[in-house]
Amino acid sequence: ILCDWAMLFIAHAQPAVNDDSTHLDDVELRGLVQKYITRTCPGVSKTARGEIEAEFSKHFTSPLDIKLLNFATDWLAIYLPHCLRKIDRVTFGLMSEGQAQAEKATTPLSRIKLAIPFVGKDVPSQSSEFAHPDVLIGLTIMAFRYEGLRYSDF
């Protein structure tokens, strides 16, 4: 299912298919992208990975295609599972309205507007922020989805 979402993302970015290759219909393209995205899963041998990458390179030659699929692969295989393991308001979350107002003068805006690590239930860390930008974006989206917008966000 997540490969289908990745396909929508890739289709929106309009990757170019190599003109020299045979045209792929949607089912074949979805299968090829799914193989490419899942090639890093445990249990896939190195030779199978090589075959998948060789088949993929026949149809996609643009650096943008490779970047988009590698981005989708990283998100689906690494960052999304990491973000989904976190618990809102226990291991991450947004500062509450009161906390944000109290610390507004001394706290960077990124700490007020983006997700931050928590050390316990409803206890944000004093000064820590998430270091990886992809994880920060994913957790911020999840935090706003779970907690909703604050009045100061409008």
Cβ atoms within 10 A of the Cβ of 40, count? 14
> Contact 35/72 with Cβ under 8 angstroms?
no
Q: How far apart are alpha carbons 70 and 15 in whole angstroms?
A: 13
* Low-confidence winner among 12-21, 58-67, 96-105, 116-125 (lowest mean pLDDT): 12-21
Looking at residue 66, its pLDDT comes to 84
pLDDT at 57 over 80: yes
Q: Which of 105, 104, 117 is nearest to 150 (CA)?
A: 104
> Contact 130/93 with Cβ under 8 angstroms?
no
Which of the two residues, 46 and 143, has the higher pLDDT score? 143
Cβ atoms within 10 A of the Cβ of 145, count? 9
Which of the two residues, 149 and 42, has the higher pLDDT score? 149
Q: Which of 4, 49, 9, 6 is nearest to 27 (CA)?
A: 4
Mean pLDDT, the chain, integer: 86
